[in-house]
Amino acid sequence: MTASHPAEELRGAGLRVTAARVALLDAVRDGDHLGVEAITSRVRDRVGRISHQAVYEALHALTAAGLVRRIEPAGSPARFEGRVGDNHHHLVCRSCGAIADVDRVVGRDVCLGPLDDAGYVVDEADVTFWGLCPRCRPKTG
């Protein structure tokens, strides 16, 4: 699997290519469901000064173009990830806010099976599992 260069992907999505957007796309992809603060500091490490507003606008543009995915667990600030289009789900730690990907739900099809969907055409399921991550859960034994 070959990853194309971020600049080409931006161009392909019809977006203007800027150093900040390239750095931002890299930061989101290298990171693990980063929040805006973490993304901003990584982008600053690479391109120098950039305002929060510019980061927000770039994130919005990249999200709208489908290059990054925004997730927003209830009660938590938005996080961004580079894994798009595969309809995966998330585990969120109630204690520290850590987020892990869940590829699919085993044994219970809550994904995109035929639903009695009240006439809706369903194209996405967004499931968040809440609990305690391995670091936060009580130690056993």
For Zn ion, the binding residue among 23, 25, 58, 93 (CB under 5 A) is 93
Give least dist CB 96 to Zn ion, A.
Answer: 3
Among 65, 98, 111, 125, binds Zn ion (CB under 5 A): 98
**CA distance linking residue 88 with residue 50, whole number of Å:** 31
Q: Does 54 bind Zn ion (CB under 5 A)?
A: no
Query: For residues 62 and 93, which CB has a smaller minimum distance to Zn ion in the complex?
Result: 93
Listed residue (101, 106, 38) closest to 71, CA to CA:
101
β-strand pairing of 79-81 with 69-71: antiparallel
**What is the side-by-side strand order in the sheet with 99-102?**
99-102, 89-93, 128-131
- Least Å from the CB of residue 88 to Zn ion: 6
Using CB under 5 A as the binding rule, whether residue 95 contacts Zn ion is answered as: yes
